[in-house]
Structure 1
């Protein structure tokens, strides 16, 4: 009986310690799942803002392609372009409902893009790229910013088999989480067009 109590106490301490550690992790932030952001109809987006957001998407592709090539230095540089594109979005031209959605997304997009600019470590960049991708997808889908095809791809083996999403301008799979190690691991989960 004493052994059972000690085991239970050890488990509780382990769970509390794990919880306390995760709360102090500087990477921990409020999740902004793509499906939640795209549920409500936020109306037609101003054409100028759509172009600015499309520039964000194009800059994102630059980061993605650098990670496909496992090139941390280029990913770092492309993330700086992404930051500039994000900061150039004129949210004053959005409706109040759109602005509310954009502010939530922008907070997280800036967080992950900034972290990618702070390192040339591809592994660390890929960690932030996962969340960046979910929020870019939410932006593209919510604001209907592009009339070109956007592929939303998924690799089940990314992040220790937890899976990872990314957006691509091409149908052929080019995996940013593994690069040459497993270039074609993944599949298209959704296709966005004529938004």
Structure 2
């Protein structure tokens, strides 16, 4: 009976952890889709992906510890505002400018939560003096697209669970 109870508790913990990660991974994936659209210099797609990010941020994250919930609350409004600004313009230059703050806030959130399923790499463009997150170590600069696609370096890693 004790073994069955232990197994049941472990199963509940695993399911709760997966629920946490699913909500955070949805936010991270939506952010990465915005980044990819900016790398491709596609303002229309960046606008659409920023709306997706805003929607992902509206969904409640389940199973977070109180400190994690507080961290999410601290950054959710800033991230929603940043994604909204990107979604309201057709100018790739304006979107890229807004992406700077969005990236700072996303890094602060994800590095604090430590719930992402896969590693994320903070990358830095010395020309723009701005960072972004990527799921790959290869540099694909969202601030300059094809003009300076490989400009940058990895500066930090957020380890995956």
TM > 0.5 fold call: yes
Q: TM-score, normalised by structure 2?
A: 0.84
Query: Which of 113, 118, 121 is the aligned partner of 2:91?
Result: 121
Gaps of 5+ in 2: 1-15
Measure the CA separation in 2 of the matches of 1:54 and 1:194: 10
Contact preservation (8 Å) 1:154, 1:165 = yes
Residue 100 of structure 2 is aligned to residue 130 of structure 1: yes
- Quote the residue 1:175 is aligned against: 141
State the Cα distance separating 1:48 from its structure 2 match.
1.4
Query: Which is greater in Rg?
Result: 1
Q: Distance in 2 between matches of 1:70 and 1:96?
A: 39
- Please identify, of 169-178 and 47-56, the stretch whose mean Cα deviation from structure 2 is larger: 47-56
Which of residues 174, 180, 185 in structure 1 aligns to 2:151?
185
Write the distance in 1 (CA, Å) between the matches of 2:90 and 2:78: 20
The answer to whether residue 27 in structure 2 is matched with residue 56 in structure 1 is yes
Structure 1: gaps spanning 5 or more residues:
1-44
Q: Return the match for 2:117 from 147, 150, 173.
A: 147
- Across the two proteins, how many residue pairs are aligned to each other? 146
Aligned position for 1:77: 48
Q: Take 2:18 and 2:145, find their aligned partners in 1: how far apart are those partners?
A: 35
Deviation, 1:154, is 0.1
Match of 1:166 among 90, 115, 132: 132
Between 1:97-106 and 1:165-174, the stretch displaced more is: 97-106
Q: Is the 8 A contact 1:175 1:184 kept in 2?
A: yes
> How far is the alpha carbon of 1:191 from its aligned partner?
1.7
Structure 1-normalised TM-score? 0.70
1:190 to 1:132, Cα distance in 2 relative to 1, 3 A: same
